[in-house]
């Protein structure tokens, strides 16, 4: 059993927000069939949103480009799905939430409390939702205020998911820590765009979006590495993790756990595969505990 911000996980792999997190049933499937140590819901906001026009997601040679636009039924509409996930998943369920202000984040957190999520993840990093996500997460003062607002009304861990689309991510991470965050999640997608050369039109309905998948892993590893040095709270790594080797690399950079997103599109049981690979690696290296990996690369300098 693995402990992260007070939560008991069977292994250090977590379903990332936005992937198979729209229903209680899909969250349970990832936990039971996929072997995830914990699951994070789709990001839920104060009001229903339909998101951006299609195409909203395309597969590229290097990963995925998406501009979903934070579609969600609002917190009253998602409450039942969260209750199902909590009842049947048998793993910690983290509610991902978003808003345009500290008051909206507080409203959504309070609205989901009846379903008893094990933790909250604050989405201050989505790059393609005007007025939300990275529009909030690029301002250190606002990140601190949002974190404080949620911490004031919940008694479970609060994680803050950071955007890489800033000049200094450690400044944003420090603001989250100052606001009382129990952990930071690093990173959300990188701003990106694709154009159809025959028509000249952008491929996505929103024109631009966020890049995920293998291409972003080196960026994620560097962000994790820098934040591990800058912060006292745990750093959860996400971005391009699709193998146990990727997870080990992320943990050596400083990640206390890893989230998996895009790789789930290929196979749901990716979590079991990664956790089994980590265990085999630990045995081969003679490490007694997975915690021996966390921040190991910092000791090599």
3 labeled part of a ligand binding site: no
Whether 38 has a binding-site annotation, put simply, is no
Q: Consult the annotation and say whether 66 binds a ligand.
A: yes
| Residue 213 is labelled as binding a ligand | yes
How far does the chain reach from its first CA to its final CA, in angstroms? 30
Q: Is 69 annotated as a binding residue?
A: yes
Task: Say if residue 272 carries a ligand binding annotation.
Answer: no
> Do the annotations mark residue 261 as ligand-binding?
yes
Give the total residue count for the chain.
301
67 annotated to bind ligand: yes
Confirm whether residue 87 is marked as ligand binding.
no
Cα distance between residue 123 and residue 188, in whole Å: 9
Residue 43 annotated as part of some ligand binding site:
yes
Judging by beta carbons within 10 Å of its beta carbon (0-12, 13-18, 19+), is residue 197 exposed, middle or buried?
Answer: exposed
262 marked as binding residue: yes
Q: Look at strands 7-9 and 255-260 and give their pairing.
A: unpaired
Residue 155 annotated as part of some ligand binding site = no
The answer on whether 42 is annotated among ligand-binding residues is yes
Q: Could you tell me the two tokens for 272? A: 């079991």
Burial class (CB in 10 A: 0-12, 13-18, 19+), 35: buried
Q: Determine if residue 56 is labeled as part of a ligand binding site.
A: no
CA 248 from centroid of its chain's CA atoms? 18
Confirm if 7 and 38 have CB atoms less than 8 A apart. yes
Strands in 25-68 per DSSP E: 38-40, 57-60, 63-66
126 part of the active site: yes
DSSP reduced 3-state for 127:
coil
- Chain centre distance of CA 11: 16
Phi and psi angles of residue 206, each rounded to the nearest 5 degrees, phi first: -90, 5
- Pick the catalytic residue: 28, 126, 141, 223? 126
**CA gap 6, 142 in Å, rounded:** 26
Helix (H, G, I), strand (E, B) or coil at 248: helix
Say whether 195 counts as a known binding-site residue.
Answer: no
Residues belonging to the binding site are 42-43, 66-70, 123, 161, 187-189, 213, 239-240, 261-262
Residues annotated catalytic, as ranges: 126
Residues belonging to the binding site for FMN are 42-43, 123, 161, 187, 213, 239-240, 261-262
Residues belonging to the binding site for substrate are 42, 66-70, 123, 188-189
């Amino acid at each position: 059993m693995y402990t992260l911000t007070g939560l008991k996980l069977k292994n250090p792999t977590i379903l990332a927000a936005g992937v198979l997190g729209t229903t209680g049933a899909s969250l349970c499937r990832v936990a039971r069939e996929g072997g995830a140590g914990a699951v994070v819901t789709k990001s839920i906001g104060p009001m229903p949103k339909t998101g951006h026009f299609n195409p909203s997601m395309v597969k590229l040679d290097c990963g995925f480009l998406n501009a979903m636009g934070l579609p969600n039924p609002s917190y009253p509409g998602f409450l039942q799905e969260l209750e199902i996930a909590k009842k049947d998943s048998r793993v910690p369920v983290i509610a991902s939430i978003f808003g345009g202000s500290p008051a909206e984040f507080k409203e959504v957190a309070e609205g989901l409390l009846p379903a008893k999520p094990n933790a909250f993840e604050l989405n201050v990093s989505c790059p393609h939702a005007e007025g939300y996500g990275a529009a909030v997460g690029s301002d250190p003062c606002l990140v601190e205020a949002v974190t404080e607002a949620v911490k004031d009304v919940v008694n479970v861990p609060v994680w803050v998911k950071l955007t890489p689309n800033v000049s200094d991510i450690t400044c944003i991470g420090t603001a989250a820590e100052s606001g009382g965050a129990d952990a930071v999640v690093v990173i959300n997608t990188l701003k990106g765009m694709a154009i159809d050369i025959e028509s000249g039109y952008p491929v996505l309905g929103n024109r631009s979006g966020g890049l995920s998948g293998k291409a972003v892993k080196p960026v994620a590893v560097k962000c994790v590495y820098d934040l591990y040095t800058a912060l006292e709270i745990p750093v959860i790594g996400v971005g391009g993790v699709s193998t146990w080797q990727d997870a080990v690399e992320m943990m050596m950079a400083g990640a206390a756990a890893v989230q998996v997103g895009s790789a789930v599109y290929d196979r749901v049981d990716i979590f079991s595969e990664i956790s089994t690979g980590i265990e085999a690696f630990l045995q081969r290296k003679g490490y007694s505990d997975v915690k021996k990996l966390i921040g190991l690369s910092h000791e090599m300098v």
